[in-house]
Amino acid sequence: MEVKDYGLSRVSGRVLDGPTNPMVTPLLTDLYQFTMAYAYWKAGKHQERAVFDLYFRKNPFGGEYTIFAGLEECIKFLANFKFTEDEISFVCESLAGSCEDGFCDYLRGLDCSEVELYATPEGSVVFPKVPLLRIEGPVAVVQLLETPLLNLVNYASLVATNAARHRFVAGKSKMLLEFGLRRAQGPDGGIGASKYSYIGGFDATSNVAAGKLFGIPLRGTHSHAFVSSYMSLDEIVEKSLRSSDGSSSCEDFVSLVQTWLNKIQWSNSLRNVFGETNQSELAAFTSYALAFPNNFLALVDTYDVMRSGIPNFCAVALALSDLGYKAVGIRLDSGDLAYLSFEARKFFCTIEKEFGVLGFEKMIITASNDLNEETLDALNKQGHEVDAFGIGTYLVTCFTQAALGCVFKLVEINNQPRIKLSEDVSKVSIPCKKRCYRLYGREGYPLVDIMTGENEPSPKVGERILCRHPFNESKRAYVVPQKVEELLKCYWPGSSGKAREDLPPLKDIRTRCIDQLELMRPDHMRRLNPTPYKVSVSAKLYDFIHFLWLNEAPVGELQ
Amino acid sequence: MEVKDYGLSRVSGRVLDGPTNPMVTPLLTDLYQFTMAYAYWKAGKHQERAVFDLYFRKNPFGGEYTIFAGLEECIKFLANFKFTEDEISFVCESLAGSCEDGFCDYLRGLDCSEVELYATPEGSVVFPKVPLLRIEGPVAVVQLLETPLLNLVNYASLVATNAARHRFVAGKSKMLLEFGLRRAQGPDGGIGASKYSYIGGFDATSNVAAGKLFGIPLRGTHSHAFVSSYMSLDEIVEKSLRSSDGSSSCEDFVSLVQTWLNKIQWSNSLRNVFGETNQSELAAFTSYALAFPNNFLALVDTYDVMRSGIPNFCAVALALSDLGYKAVGIRLDSGDLAYLSFEARKFFCTIEKEFGVLGFEKMIITASNDLNEETLDALNKQGHEVDAFGIGTYLVTCFTQAALGCVFKLVEINNQPRIKLSEDVSKVSIPCKKRCYRLYGREGYPLVDIMTGENEPSPKVGERILCRHPFNESKRAYVVPQKVEELLKCYWPGSSGKAREDLPPLKDIRTRCIDQLELMRPDHMRRLNPTPYKVSVSAKLYDFIHFLWLNEAPVGELQ
């Protein structure tokens, strides 16, 4: 691979690495961005200054909010935007016969030094129609950025939102684990899911690569295959285990486990509750405990949860306890999770009472198996004893809605505002280079987002502001904000010399997301019939939109 | 980044590159694969020879077939499976306090030389329960491969199947273009979609990176933003265009276009059909034609298809025709595509007749805008004049079913067959290291897939074979095959010295897929209530499954 001169990434004082996925190059775009760039260049129009907004039209998952994510990757992409010779040759060949040499020279010189990118901070709660990104620069360059920016924002925001919704249903006290790598849409579908689920409020992931790349806490113990790979306790050769404090050693941990299993089976409270447990499972648990005496968490549903998995687990956990180790808990991966979690908890309580092992009843119960918002909600309604949820397929593939529809619209070129019309009003774009604000009410809740023209005075605290629906004449309201927050900040000044917002560490983005969700009025957040959050434009921008609209729309003739 | 010693990738005589996405490393796996590897290692069990099957349980999209894809990436992954020091340190830290140094040494020495991988050829039509991959090797290594292999196969097969289904509805004669990069689940969700849609029968993609990586034909022209970036024809400064054969030059192509627009507007057949067309659109089309006179395809719905886009397009196309160029066609991206395609075709026919421009009526009509299987089907039912479809979101995110549920099950260890039980019969695994065959009937159609034990004699042409449903006693049938095809071939022999199947070029995989689909009995393929294709086991394997099942299942007591 050619070594790139990451020129601009060093311009602004600080080196910015490239995107996490090295496949994110300037070629990760649609061919038409290059045909347009060529046509602009051929017409001498390529340097015209254009402003594009990136936004979505509808919140996903039937909800009324979205989490914005993907910004850091966008900035890293801009910072390292530079064509290799190899890429330039490929592009020029792809333009089939039409490509003049001068265009190759043009591509050779391209970077994002003339581009400015303004964005809502990553991890923010965001709403339809309000730009998440505003990108300004030479029209040909900004067009080339369209596809990669959409790609980097769409899925990131979708999965962060999905994670936030799962967190909302699960409640704050539960541990949420992302387990989706195997079902994700490709390798970095998996890596992206881990990163953006964490932003959306998950606690940990099973994805080791994501743990290494982003410092996300890792979780995982063993699978059914591990259990069925054992046949019997005879397979365990090395049977000794040192006590937790190192002071003594148990020479035959296997016998200790068997003794405990016997004691449980014939105890007063558990007599006749189960018969012979599965021995390959017992062997697997024992072996696992010998490897991880400090971190013993067992998958208990390979054969039969209550008649084999739980008794086997308890025998091993009690043996560990004799040596000063505290077992962590169990995982359930099938069956009626609510019922099984209750039964398991009862069993743990009985053990605690029967054998006086303090804290045994607090054993962590993890549940997995095709969980999603609905099943979490159903579990809550039934009641359950689950402490942690492992969520995979539905989270990472965003199964109920697999795409967010962010679009990238030209709103101004050469200081001329542009509007994109459509017979479908929801698809009409809001023209002009804009500023965007969030207005907060007396109770601290965000009340409304408002977009204004770039040069309008900003809304002020305590001042009465008319907020208008961008397209519906009759929808308008006065607001007296208690707090005004400007939403778009400069994250990529190019070489303009403007100040640049720092890219915060992942943990801070996650905290921002959690804090912002906390701040929302509850009726916007509920799963059933949530109230739409209001998005508005200033009176001046409203008038301008409608002036432009009338100007551009053809007048029909009914026949 | 550390430079890896891609040791094994050179062993088998030929160098195999790493996976397309450099993020596909041995760390792209679930943490529990490492905790299990450690536990196996600690128990001295890590070298035990295990056999795992990778398969799915249910065809996606409510259909009765699936396309297997992702194999090449799996093999490239195996060939380059090697830990860097950095990765080893990270893994050992992640095993939190439990990790002995010997395990690091073990990881250091790991590669896939002791692994063998058997697979159905990529691009094959495949069915539930039959292994797509059979992987044999030391249990600890094969477990580490589970997550990445699932990740590489699941989405690849899902999107290839989705593409094949779109092709089935669209029909063979239509051009199918993959336009999904911007909505894909992350960067290589996009790249993977392009590759695997191509395998599934698409003709081209808009994704330039995928074009470069895989040699897939590229398509694309311009967007709405290009149209609205123009204000008027005055913007076009360089107005000259050489004729196609280079013999002459038109000094003012803009005037030529205007002349043609006038002629159309006042022609006998088109008088009063439209009024003044949008001038920014006309300028954009003219400018685009000046850049791509050989490849003029215009997006005609920015303002009004019939009153502006089509007349403007025709004016430019006729002007090009004067200079010996043949315009390509139009793209429709909104509105009633069936209706608009008819109207557009009518307009083209009228132009051909009115001005005697031969072939003008054959102008290619491309349609896009949230197309999917349903909308293609609806368009077919209404009738339409569309020649090419651009399909994005629904194709690449597999919107109607965003995940394929491939699983990876232990079927044998130390020559002992293993079964995974479940209260849900469809989740019971089929034990034993198996061979798999496809049996063909007299009419050339595949009749049934059959799995046998590894050492059973293979089914023979003309011989009567009893095929049994693996779990349903009463479902069985005799088959006399006219052709027998063994499904699993050795694609990764490790260092066993066995012969290795070549990885065919992408085009051949695509051809295989198209040919195999062609061969299927039509009732398996139809969209509504397709007939399930039969998947069976030999009588001997059937008996063995049920013997093992009874052996492992706990006997309950009703209380």
Query: Are residues A289 and A262 located together in one domain of the fold?
Result: yes
In the structure encoding, which two tokens stand for residue A444, read together?
């601290």
Query: Are residues A483 and A452 located together in one domain of the fold?
Result: yes
The pLDDT-based confidence of A3 (bands split at 50, 70, 90) is: very low
- pLDDT per position as a tens digit, A157-182: 999 999 999 999 999 999 999 999 99
Q: How many CA atoms lie within 13 A of B204 on its CB side?
A: 15
- pLDDT per position as a tens digit, B243-294: 999 999 999 999 999 999 999 999 999 887 888 899 999 999 999 999 999 9
Q: What percent of chain B has pLDDT over 70?
A: 96
Contact at CB, B23 and A409, closer than 8 angstroms: no
Contact B424, B402 (CB under 8 A): no
| Domain end call among B353, B383, B413 | B383
φ/ψ (deg, to 5) at A293:
-65, -25
- pLDDT per position as a tens digit, B425-483: 888 999 999 999 999 999 999 999 999 999 999 999 999 999 999 999 999 999 999 99
Q: Which of A 486-545 lie inside 8 A of B, CB atoms? A: none
Contact at CB, B228 and A420, closer than 8 angstroms: yes
- pLDDT per position as a tens digit, B14-71: 557 899 999 999 999 999 999 999 999 999 999 999 999 999 999 999 999 999 999 9
ipTM for the complex?
0.95
Which residue, among A3, A24, A31, would best test binding to B if mutated, counting the most B CBs under 10 Å from its CB? A31
In the structure encoding, which two tokens stand for residue B415, read together?
């020559």
Residue B559 has pLDDT above 70, yes or no: no
Domain count, chain A: 2
Query: Are residues A374 and A405 located together in one domain of the fold?
Result: no
Q: Kindly state whether A453 is in contact with chain B, defined as any CB-CB distance less than 8 angstroms.
A: no
Question: What are the chain A neighbours of B44 within 8 Å (beta carbons)?
Answer: 237-238
Query: Are residues B350 and B267 located together in one domain of the fold?
Result: yes
Contact at CB, B152 and A187, closer than 8 angstroms: yes
* A266: CATH: 3.20.20.70
Query: Are residues A421 and A353 located together in one domain of the fold?
Result: no
Query: Residue A339 burial (CB < 10 Å; 0-12/13-18/19+)?
Result: middle
Query: Are residues A407 and A506 located together in one domain of the fold?
Result: yes
Q: Kindly state whether B197 is in contact with chain A, defined as any CB-CB distance less than 8 angstroms.
A: no
Query: Are residues B377 and B405 located together in one domain of the fold?
Result: no
Residue A281 lies in a domain: yes
Residue B177 has pLDDT above 90, yes or no: yes
Element (H or E) spanning A332, and its range? strand A329-332
Element (H or E) spanning B438, and its range? strand B434-440
Residue A240 lies in a domain: yes
- pLDDT per position as a tens digit, B503-520: 999 999 999 999 999 999
Which amino acid makes up residue A473?
Answer: E
Mean pLDDT of A184-201: 96
Query: Are residues B346 and B262 located together in one domain of the fold?
Result: yes
Pairing of the two strands B66-67 and B125-126: antiparallel
Q: Could you give the CA distance from residue A551 to residue A558 in angstroms, rounded to a whole number?
A: 19
Query: Are residues B320 and B446 located together in one domain of the fold?
Result: no
Q: What is the residue range of A252's domain? A: 234-383
Q: Could you give the CA distance from residue B273 to residue B126 in angstroms, rounded to a whole number?
A: 53
CA angle B228, B230, B231 (to 5 degrees): 105
- pLDDT per position as a tens digit, B360-418: 999 999 999 999 999 999 999 999 999 999 999 999 999 999 999 999 999 999 999 99
Residue B252 lies in a domain: yes
The pLDDT-based confidence of A271 (bands split at 50, 70, 90) is: confident
Residue B339 lies in a domain: yes
Question: How far are the Cα atoms of A14, A32, A111, A124, B331 from residue A408, in angstroms, in the given order?
Answer: 29, 14, 20, 19, 19
Q: Could you give the CA distance from residue B176 to residue B345 in angstroms, rounded to a whole number?
A: 19
| Domain end call among B351, B383, B415 | B383
Mean pLDDT of B206-211: 97
Residue B111 lies in a domain: yes
| Domain end call among B327, B357, B383 | B383
Query: Are residues A409 and A530 located together in one domain of the fold?
Result: yes
Contact at CB, A42 and B413, closer than 8 angstroms: no
Residue B295 lies in a domain: yes
Question: What are the chain B neighbours of A52 within 8 Å (beta carbons)?
Answer: 225
* A41: CATH: 3.20.140.10
Q: Bridge-partner residues for A147, per DSSP?
A: none
Residue A308 lies in a domain: yes
Residue A83 lies in a domain: yes
Contact B216, B198 (CB under 8 A): yes
Pick B43's closest partner by Cβ from A139, A238, A399. A238
Query: Are residues A407 and A535 located together in one domain of the fold?
Result: yes
Query: Are residues B279 and B329 located together in one domain of the fold?
Result: yes
Which amino acid makes up residue A397?
Answer: T
Other Cβ atoms within 10 Å of A470 Cβ, number? 18
